[in-house]
Chain A
Amino acid sequence: MTDELNDPELQKILSKKMKQILSESISDEEEKEIVKHLDSKNFDDFIRKNKVAVIDFWAEWCAPCLILAPIIEELAKDYPQVGFGKINSDENPDIAARYGVMSLPTLIFFKNGEPVDEILGAVPREEIEYRLKMLLIR
């Protein structure tokens, strides 16, 4: 057994596998944290805690939602002072109904816990960024 562990070839494979597992778990964690997955339990807390928050209302069957998702992730990386979250409207109809979300995707901008702006549909990054900047300088 000890001889096997001293085998340089085996050491190399184990080290490579270890790096792979570590990098996968780190990137998964990062991905989860960049845009917070919300539900009825943590939604109110999230929009209260973040002075400015952008919430993406989406659903699995919604193709434009999947087009929009990477743009939200990009913006979340570029604006760490803003809380970015996403909430599945099918699984959390109470929250969607509270804000009158009728079509998907809908982005709602919150300031101090209150909805102040919204964007419907998959739009280019520039459109979202413009609205966000307006909100941040106000």
Chain B
Amino acid sequence: MYPLLLGIDGLSYSSFMKCNPRTLFTLFSSTYRGVVLNKKPQFPYSSWLSVLEMKEMREINNFLPNIEQEPRLIRETNAIPINIPITNPTYGNVRIPYNDSISVEQEINEVLSSILEFIEKKPVIASITAIDRFLHKNSSDKCKIYSLIDNAVRKIVSKVDDFIIFSAYGEPKSEEEGNHEEYGVFLATIPRPSEHDTVKISEIGILFEKLVKGGHY
């Protein structure tokens, strides 16, 4: 199996106790963990492009109209992109509109089956956007979404040996698009050079590249 970079946009440690996602809790105690620091305003496109270009891309102020050249991390790891929110609809093998028209279940099922299909052939970079798409307006279904995501993560990690699961920022804090908690989740099968530092958003791409190249995949 090849390595996986899975972004779960808006996933937050602050809801772990309330929603009790069992698989994520297990990973929390059994993998290398960290805190992603991403100051306001946080947008999916600039955050994900910072990961994919392996440098800060704060100047990007909207979804890209199209992808002329594959982002650097995808080129250098030869990874399959799935549902990456740098364009609208999202970019890669699953493409959904970045709004609430696609249900949480549908997105998770499509992303899950796509990851499981490709991870045997190539590294995969995938995103689940449900928390960010739905919790800006209504947080009442939060733990239900966490439960669906947790189930998907359980199925994924049972198949994948090496992974980085992260969120580029925490949960939405208001209806405003760029308003999220500044701290995101980082759980990985590889250690970081300085674990007593927060994880920079661009560092995630660099770590995934190391994971792919270091593992000689």
Task: Give Cα A69–Cα B15 distance, bound, in whole angstroms.
Answer: 10
Say yes or no: is A61 at the interface (Cβ < 8 Å to chain B). Answer: yes
Contact A61 B13 (CB under 8 A): no
Kindly list chain B residues whose C-beta atoms are within 8 Å of the C-beta of A125: 17
Contact B34 A66 (CB under 8 A): no
Minimum CB–CB distance from A114 to chain B (whole Å) comes to: 29
Kindly list chain B residues whose C-beta atoms are within 8 Å of the C-beta of A59: 196
Minimum CB–CB distance from B15 to chain A (whole Å) comes to: 8
What is the interface size of chain A, counting residues whose CB is below 8 A from a CB of the partner? 16
Contact B34 A60 (CB under 8 A): no
- Interface contacts (Cβ under 8 Å), in number, total 40
* Cβ-defined partner of A66 (8 Å) among B18, B35, B196: B35
Say yes or no: is B197 at the interface (Cβ < 8 Å to chain A). Answer: yes
What is the interface size of chain B, counting residues whose CB is below 8 A from a CB of the partner? 21
Contact A61 B17 (CB under 8 A): no
Minimum CB–CB distance from B173 to chain A (whole Å) comes to: 9
Residue ID in chain A nearest B170 by CB atoms: A66
Contact B34 A70 (CB under 8 A): no
Task: Give Cα A9–Cα B28 distance, bound, in whole angstroms.
Answer: 50
Contact B14 A69 (CB under 8 A): yes
Say yes or no: is B113 at the interface (Cβ < 8 Å to chain A). Answer: no
Within 186-217 of B, Cβ neighbours of A (below 8 Å) are at: 186, 195-198
- Chosen A-B contacts, 19 in total, with CB atoms closer than 8 Å, are A59-B196, A60-B35, A61-B35, A61-B195, A61-B197, A63-B33, A63-B35, A63-B185, A63-B186, A66-B12, A66-B13, A66-B183, A67-B13, A67-B14, A70-B17, A71-B17, A122-B17, A124-B17, A125-B17
